[in-house]
Structure 1
């Protein structure tokens, strides 16, 4: 279900929440706008996965401008239903809140970096505890904020599933008690908060989480699980500069078939010479990257359309069908017709 390619990244939806929180807390944009994955074309593209390091830096910057308790509350306030995409609806559309949070745990990779973060559900008689595990390399204040926010997020979604506010019987935070924590009391709806706990968790009465969701629709959970799987399968993890370049190249190729180097350089706010130099630093070339995109594009057209070879050649920037046939022979050792028939 979870590819190693997703590790080290989070959803762009989570990155958008972090950017909004930083802005609301007064963090100057010049301190984070340059971070990998925060260019508008990536931040606003739900298929892109933002580097986890970018989210960490945003949290650290935010906690230099406000207490960690305030950051956790601001993040929770920004997290209206749907803000985190299909993952939200896994919780709110399940037959019961408990089944929903179990689905959210199973598909946690749809929002978070599962190499460092995890969501665990534990049943103990009449109580159910939801724990958030965080092992990222964060400053103390940023780590406290993220853990406290996670519990507030889970509580909010479970309440939205139940269509009423669910008050926890216990909240535990792996953080030292701040001088004031009225904001946390308001966030969780209880003063029963244990600080310096070994784990970060929120506990509810089992009867609250096992009660049927008022607006659950039969069969919807299985549809949403398939959608979550598809979201992960088609995601574009942005681990480094080369990932950003390939995303820009693919977008340019989608727009005009055979993009020029200058066109992609402009999209990335670089000069053509700088772009070529960066590609060389990453052990590749413009011609190699362009051919890779062409190959994928041509293969899709052969498999998924009935276009003639001449039409595919024209759409892919080749002079004629003969040039396209030579390229396919070089890539696959066969003809376009055979490739289409065998469906390889």
Structure 2
């Protein structure tokens, strides 16, 4: 699975930005962060850096207690706002099956380099533990962990189509001066503090009943979709990632030019060339890389003729396309197509879930 460590989903970043807006935090304090440009924030295939979400989380907990921030985040996260991850949980045969899928595909929302979820089944009880190892300020870390548990609870309730009151909630945080927001978040006052890990525990019978919205085979479809989304996602770790995302987007629409891509990045052509030089690359090299990926994808995934692929890839004719493929791979387009299909058709070993 494509983990895309160091990044989170744009959906989660939008949730953080919305919380900052609702708390009245001036945009100039975070709008400059990588991944917050409209074209990236609104693109579900873009993955902004985890550091962007961390910075916004820290800003929010400077403006409000972490208990209230966690409640606000959970309240603003309606079903569907976190994409396919929400439906993995809410459409499974049982809520327990759903939360297992949610834990397995946590990368669809979070940075699995810093966040993991663990499901522990112990007879009559099921405990969902959330581990967060990001380099966060204390208050922000408390908010993130508390909110994660609240999101799990809300998704399970959506799967069960009824209220689910946990047996207990344990937070890896010191007791706050006031925790009414947490009581509202979890709908219980059975909250323990100073735990070694943050967790929420339910009765097994509450999570193991058939989910009203479940449909046969739907979970398998959603798992495949989650894998496809992760595979197609574009992580934004640095400026060069932003540039390559902008270039790929421009290439998908038409033949890109320095001027059009520079405009998307709010740079002059000269500044764009200078930045590329600083990253040890050139415009022509980057265009060639995008074109190679585009040609390879068309050869592997379509039945288009060589002439059609040449036209769609900006080449004068199939002869020029063949020369390019020979230069890239040392083979012909037809051979590259055959080899790609043979690899795709080869059986893959997998461990049972």
Please tell me the TM-score bracket, short chain as reference: over 0.9
Which residue matches 1:170? 168
Q: Which runs of 5+ in 1 are unaligned?
A: none
Report the Cα distance in structure 1 between the residues aligned to 2:300 and 2:221, rounded to whole angstroms. Answer: 26
Report the Cα distance in structure 2 between the residues aligned to 1:338 and 1:225, rounded to whole angstroms. Answer: 32
Report the Cα distance in structure 2 between the residues aligned to 1:188 and 1:155, rounded to whole angstroms. Answer: 8
Report the Cα distance in structure 2 between the residues aligned to 1:343 and 1:127, rounded to whole angstroms. Answer: 48
Report the Cα distance in structure 1 between the residues aligned to 2:338 and 2:139, rounded to whole angstroms. Answer: 58
CA distance 1:42–1:197, change in 2 (3 Å): same
Report the Cα distance in structure 2 between the residues aligned to 1:306 and 1:170, rounded to whole angstroms. Answer: 56
Report the Cα distance in structure 2 between the residues aligned to 1:174 and 1:311, rounded to whole angstroms. Answer: 58
Report the Cα distance in structure 2 between the residues aligned to 1:47 and 1:104, rounded to whole angstroms. Answer: 19
Report the Cα distance in structure 2 between the residues aligned to 1:207 and 1:300, rounded to whole angstroms. Answer: 47
Task: Please state if 1:277 is matched with 2:270.
Answer: no
Which residue matches 2:314? 317
Which stretch shows the higher mean deviation, 41-50 or 140-149? 41-50
SS in 1 for 2:8: strand
Which residue matches 2:150? 152
RMSD (CA atoms) = 1.6
Q: How does 1:84-233 map to 2 (within 5 A)?
A: 84-233=82-231
Deviation at 1:328, TM superposition (A): 2.2
Deviation at 1:284, TM superposition (A): 0.8
Task: Note the alpha carbon deviations across 1:257-287, whole angstroms, 9 max, x for none.
Answer: x211011000010111111111111111101
SS in 1 for 2:12: helix
Report the Cα distance in structure 1 between the residues aligned to 2:259 and 2:33, rounded to whole angstroms. Answer: 23
TM-score of the superposition, structure 2-length normalised?
0.92
Which residue matches 1:287? 284
Report the Cα distance in structure 2 between the residues aligned to 1:98 and 1:50, rounded to whole angstroms. Answer: 30
Deviation at 1:298, TM superposition (A): 2.2
Task: Note the alpha carbon deviations across 1:190-227, whole angstroms, 9 max, x for none.
Answer: 11111112211111111111122122212211111111
Deviation at 1:342, TM superposition (A): 4.8
Report the Cα distance in structure 1 between the residues aligned to 2:300 and 2:176, rounded to whole angstroms. Answer: 60
Report the Cα distance in structure 2 between the residues aligned to 1:326 and 1:205, rounded to whole angstroms. Answer: 64
Which stretch shows the higher mean deviation, 63-72 or 314-323? 314-323
Q: Which runs of 5+ in 2 are unaligned?
A: 342-353
SS in 2 for 1:10: coil
CA distance 1:324–1:216, change in 2 (3 Å): closer
CA distance 1:306–1:233, change in 2 (3 Å): closer
CA distance 1:203–1:253, change in 2 (3 Å): same
CA distance 1:156–1:324, change in 2 (3 Å): same
Which stretch shows the higher mean deviation, 303-312 or 150-159? 303-312
Which stretch shows the higher mean deviation, 307-316 or 279-288? 307-316
Deviation at 1:317, TM superposition (A): 2.6
